[in-house]
A and B are shown apart, each in its own frame.
Chain A
Amino acid sequence: MALLMATVSLLLFAIFDSDQFRKQIAVAELGGFGVAALSEADYTDWIAKRGLDAPFLERYVSWVGQVFQGNLGHSLEYNMPVSSLLADRLTSTGILAFFFFLAMVPIAFTLGIVAGIKEGGLLDRIISIGSVVSTSIPQIATAVLLTVFLSLGLGWLPSKSAMVAGFSMKELVLPILTLLIYDVGYVARMTRASMIEVMSSNYIRTATLKGLSSAKVILRHAVRNALIVPVTLVFLQLNWLLSHIVVVEVFFQYNGFGQMLYNAAMYGDIEVLQAAALTASMVAVVSQLLSDIAYALLNPRLREVK
């Protein structure tokens, strides 16, 4: 775990330590006319001034130290410390993610359980086909179609979520719906598979034969076991979300983490890009860990062993 984090951060440091990215920073700081116009002498001076000629590992260690102190560099585009920009954007994305999970978890779990109660039943077939279709629509197409019909056509919702006039719940709806349509389908599908497995197990048959009502069998016995895998999956959706938030935020112009990453990449704001990539990968690694922990805590068989 710690080793993985160290490798990922070393890799990121090495990538951003390359001449290519260094030159972009140098040009931005020295105010030249692009990387091609940067003279070799200026570049060497700049490297010496920034202390970038020290040995690689020494600089890596001091960089890690800086990161732990919350010093992630300076954003040239926004002219502010990267750490405060990052904190600001992560809060925005956090709000989006919070409402997303708040809606996704109950809907997806309910659909998955209802579908899994009777494999091959009418409800199962409707939900299964629905989940294939909803996971087939790319985010970008969902965003377009929702905007066209709900915003341009019916005029119910604003088509952009830039939050120019302060926070507005209404502007959150379209980005969240866009994310939901794909992910509810995916998580419901996984929940269904888990539920089907549980429903065909021996202990459920015992409970049914014992004479328990089917409501009791499902709610008290089946659901508890069937939800173990989906709950661990929810943590992994954080990784998924960080990837898909980019296109959704860019499309709806929501000022969050994804748009920050995208702008940094487009406008060569290298230190922001580095901080964003580092944050994203660390969140992904931690969510993997959380998912493993949740599995160990929830699974009664693993609990006994301890």
Chain B
Amino acid sequence: MSHSISLQKTRGAGLSRLQLVLGLMGFIWLSLCVYVIFPDAFGAYQSYITLPAAAAVVAVYVLMFQMWRGSRIAIVGLSLVSFWIMVSVLVPALPLIDPNKPIAPFLSPGSSKDGLTFWLGTDMRGRDILSRALWGSQRILVWGITSTASAYFVGISLGLMAGYLRGWWDEVFSYLTNVLLSFPVMVLLILMLNYLGQSPFNVILAITCSSAPSIMRIVRGLALQERSRDYVHAAQVRGESALWIMVMEIVPNIRGPLIVDACLRLGYTTVAITTLTFLGLGLQPPDPDWGLMIREATSSAMVWKFAYMLIIPSLSITTLILGFNLIADGLRELSLRD
């Protein structure tokens, strides 16, 4: 019963902190999506449409900081991820050199030309690396978060149906999961992108197919545990529909392990997308992207002198993934402490 009571309490207090955070994160995600998907929708004001999201990033950071104060690891992770989200939100408004404009190739970090200073140097086509690295965060975050969200939507829906409704649903979905999980991830991704063709939408679809099965397995296991709890029985006796019970009763009660898993999975999908771009599948040039930067630099500048072209995108992707993983680790630590 304690579950439903605590649920009632949060609902009674109006907007809970978690709902606020989720709402703000949705707003940040939406404004980034609008910016990336409709590059010309707002004409001259295009560079400024993501600015309100910057305030939301600060708000989310402060709220999360208070929630996770107990874990130093989670705070470090939160700071790393927030940094990159902040960068991706602010980057259109920052006074940066155009990331796709070839100016002077192979300039070393800190040098300047034509009155422009290239703090991190330029790449083999003469594009500013600092600008490309910062812009790259935007693409990776938008597609990484979108495909993780899509995988979660599918995984949670199927997992709840399999775990709560049991019977046929369980048989069919569990078998489907086993079939999809018998492909190594990268093999499945390459195969699907080859079959469907390369576009951002198909990347999302392929990532969903490769990670939804394991999410479904986790959710199914959790739902199986929860369905025999008293609060579920109470809801059944009240005459609630199965959909209401699954979404309004079970989901809030299994959110703890799911949030930890979501952080880890955000890392996995981000890595998968970067790897696909490195392999030349998935997202296409010329827009800046960390995987693409590594791909281009490995094919033309494998010398010690130009190693910065390789190191900068590698460190960018590493810090982002490290952030996600540290958050997951910190949250696990916090949940054990309770």
Contacts and interface: CB of A to CB of B under 8 A. Distances in A.
Interface stretch (A25-33, A136-144, A213-221, A294-302): A136-144
A277 B317 contact: no
A15 interface: yes
Interface stretch (A44-52, A223-231, A237-245): A237-245
Contact of B178 (A4, A152, A250, A276): A4
Interface in B130-188: 175, 178-179, 182-187
Contacts, number: 121
Contact of B329 (A132, A144, A159, A265): A132
Interface string A135-159: 1111111001101100011000001
Given A135-B325, A140-B291, A141-B314, A8 B182 contact: yes
A285 B314 contact: no
Contacts of B24: none
Contacts of B183: 8, 277, 280-281, 284
A118 B191 CA distance: 45
26 contacts: A7-B175, A8-B182, A132-B73, A132-B322, A132-B326, A136-B267, A136-B321, A138-B317, A140-B294, A141-B318, A144-B294, A144-B310, A144-B311, A144-B314, A147-B302, A148-B311, A152-B307, A153-B304, A243-B184, A261-B190, A262-B279, A273-B191, A273-B194, A280-B187, A281-B182, A288-B182
A76 to B, nearest CB: 15
Interface of B: 73, 175, 178-179, 182-187, 190-191, 193-195, 267, 271, 274-275, 278-281, 291, 294, 298, 302-304, 307, 310-311, 314-315, 317-318, 321-322, 324-326, 329
A148 B294 CA distance: 12
Contact of A240 (B184, B191, B324): B184
A177 interface: no
A141 B275 contact: no
Contact of B314 (A15, A140, A239): A140
Interface string A262-299: 10011000000100110011001100100000000000
Given A152-B302, A243-B185, A262-B190, A8 B179 contact: yes
Interface string A12-53: 000100101100000000000000000000000000000000
Nearest to A15: B195
B182 A159 contact: no
Chain A interface, DSSP helix/strand/loop, else mixed: helix
B335 to A, nearest CB: 15
Given A140-B317, A243-B185, 12 more contacts: A7-B175, A136-B322, A136-B326, A140-B278, A140-B314, A148-B304, A242-B184, A243-B186, A246-B186, A246-B190, A251-B298, A265-B193
B184 A284 contact: yes
Contact of B275 (A138, A147, A265): A138
Interface in A94-152: 132-133, 135-141, 144-145, 147-148, 152
A147 B307 CA distance: 10
A113 B322 CA distance: 24
A234 interface: no
Nearest to B280: A266
A136 to B, nearest CB: 4
B178 A138 contact: no
Contact count band on A: 35 or more
Contact of A152 (B186, B267, B278, B303): B303
A175 to B, nearest CB: 14
B77 to A, nearest CB: 9
A138 B318 contact: yes
Contacts of A247: 186, 275, 278-279
A87 interface: no
A220 B91 CA distance: 58
A11 interface: yes
B105 to A, nearest CB: 19
Given A140-B278, A250-B279, A11 B311 contact: no
A154 to B, nearest CB: 9
A123 to B, nearest CB: 18
- Which of the listed residues B175, B186, B267, B302 has the most CB atoms from chain A within 10 Å of its own CB? B186
A159 B193 CA distance: 29
Contact of A132 (B178, B318, B325): B325
Contacts of A152: 302-304, 307
B314 A145 contact: yes
A257 B193 CA distance: 19
Closest A-B pairs by Cβ, 3 of them:
A243-B184, A141-B314, A136-B322
B307 A153 contact: yes
A132 B329 CA distance: 8
Interface string A159-186: 1000000000000000000000000000
B318 A4 contact: no
B76 to A, nearest CB: 11
Nearest to B291: A140
B198 to A, nearest CB: 11
A8 B183 CA distance: 9
A159 to B, nearest CB: 6
A153 B303 CA distance: 8
B184 A138 contact: no
Contacts of B294: 140-141, 144
B187 A138 contact: no
